[in-house]
Structure 1
Amino acid sequence: MTDIIRDIDEEMRRDALLSRVRRYAWVFVLLVVVVMIAVAAIYFWQDRQARLVRDSATELSAAITLGETDAAAAKAQLDALAADPNNGNGIIAGFESAELSLREGDPAAAAASLDALAQARGQDDPYGQAATLFAIYTDLNTGDPAALLAKIDALITEGGAFTELAMDMKAQVLVRDGKTDDALAVLDALLAREDLDRELQARAEILRTGLGGGSQSN
């Protein structure tokens, strides 16, 4: 009798389990479908990103090659690539555009390309700061002093990667603008900095001496 009751109990439990499985089977099916969709979406996104990178590299290569025969058209393509902050090759495109302008003897256009790249990347981006620095350097002897000083001051920050180079350029712009005393003050501040690059220190010393400020060492 006990065995019969046990068998009946097991049958009832098995039936209850099967009933629950049938009742919630759609949940398991849904989970499988969701996982499959997620995997497919990830694969699609990765494939799309890879294709975008390949297409971007192809566009960059084509624009650089075009520069050998049609500089204006090449610059237009390079500047378009540089203007897209999401384009991984935008940085290269911006500098290539500037170099193309310099080869064409147009430093103002080179500076404009670098300024556009810096704007696209943002002032907090290291590449954007580098683009600004090169734009200043390109336009150092011909650009408007006030405009140059505004760009330079944005690069002079505590612990900034380009602070010392920017201070050196600021002194040069101030000299060109006839502000000798201000230039000497900048040079003094630059030379007072710890662990100053030797080449930069030597250049600052030469400029300071030439301005009548005498010699100074750290």
Structure 2
Amino acid sequence: MTDIIRDIDEEMRRDAFLSRVRRYAWVFLLVVVVVLVIVAAGYFWQNRQASMRSAQASELSSALTLADTDAEAARAQLEALIAGSSGGNAIVAGFELAEIAARAGDTESAAAALEALAEARGGDAYARTASLFSAYTELDTAEPASLLARLDPLIAENASFTALAMELKAQVLIRAGDQAGALALLDQLLARDGLTRDVAGRVQALRDSLSAGG
């Protein structure tokens, strides 16, 4: 008798379970469908991103090839690439755009391209490099105040670009007629640890020429 009751109880539990499964089967099916859609979307996005990167790399290569034969066409391709990307290809395109302008003697456009790159990168190493090169590009033409506005933040951070920024700032001060300020800055730079031989040699030569002229 006990076995019969246990069998009936198990049968009732099985029927109740199957009933719940049938009732909520659509929920399980929906979850499976959603998961499959998410996975498929992820694969699609990854493939799309890879395709875009490949296309951008191809466009960059084409622009770099054109740079020596058709600067205008190369410039147009580089500008389009910069507008449609923010990754490594856009960084290379920004520097190349500045180089094309500099080779043509258009230092203002070269500096503008570098400043645009610096602003787009927001303050990373590429932004600091672009700011430094933009100041170097316009060292003999831009207003001293504009140059100092680009160099002073690099000096203040006391990092990898500081020594070069100080060297350029000394030249800006000389242009502005502040020889005493330039000498003080050069002395401060020569006292820094870790100066490369090339930088130290240039700085010392500049300081010696200032002292001889003063």
Both structures adopt the same fold (TM-score exceeding 0.5): yes
Q: CA deviation at 1:61?
A: 2.2
What pairs up with 1:1-218 in 2 under 5 angstroms?
A: 1-83=1-83, 86-122=86-122, 124-212=123-211
Per-residue displacement from partner, 1:8-61 (whole Å, max 9, x unpaired)? 111111112112212222221121011101101101110110111122112212
Per-residue displacement from partner, 1:37-87 (whole Å, max 9, x unpaired)? 110110111011011112211221232233344312321331342355624
Q: CA deviation at 1:129?
A: 1.0
CA contact (8 A) 1:115 1:132 kept: yes
How many Å separate the matches in 1 of 2:3 and 2:198?
A: 98
Q: 1:199 to 1:68 in 2, by over 3 A?
A: closer
TM-score by length of 2: 0.89
- What are structure 1's unaligned runs of at least 5 residues? 214-218
Aligned residues: 212
RMSD: 1.9
Q: Residue type matched to 1:22 in 2?
A: R
CA contact (8 A) 1:83 1:116 kept: no
Per-residue displacement from partner, 1:190-211 (whole Å, max 9, x unpaired)? 1222222232222222222222
CA contact (8 A) 1:119 1:128 kept: yes
Q: CA deviation at 1:138?
A: 1.7
Structure with greater proportional helix content: 2
Counterpart secondary structure, 1:211: helix
How many Å separate the matches in 2 of 1:155 and 1:85?
A: 26
Q: CA deviation at 1:95?
A: 1.4
Counterpart secondary structure, 1:6: helix
Q: 1:201 to 1:84 in 2, by over 3 A?
A: farther
CA contact (8 A) 1:82 1:120 kept: no
Counterpart secondary structure, 2:211: coil
How many Å separate the matches in 2 of 1:92 and 1:55?
A: 15
CA contact (8 A) 1:110 1:138 kept: yes
CA contact (8 A) 1:174 1:180 kept: yes
Q: 1:144 to 1:80 in 2, by over 3 A?
A: farther
CA contact (8 A) 1:56 1:87 kept: no
How many Å separate the matches in 2 of 1:80 and 1:156?
A: 33
TM-score by length of 1: 0.88
Per-residue displacement from partner, 1:104-124 (whole Å, max 9, x unpaired)? 2333332222222222222x1
How many Å separate the matches in 1 of 2:196 and 2:36?
A: 57
Partner of 1:216: none
Counterpart secondary structure, 1:89: helix
Q: Residue type matched to 1:20 in 2?
A: R
175-184 vs 153-162, greater mean Cα deviation = 153-162
How many Å separate the matches in 1 of 2:94 and 2:45?
A: 27
Counterpart secondary structure, 1:141: coil
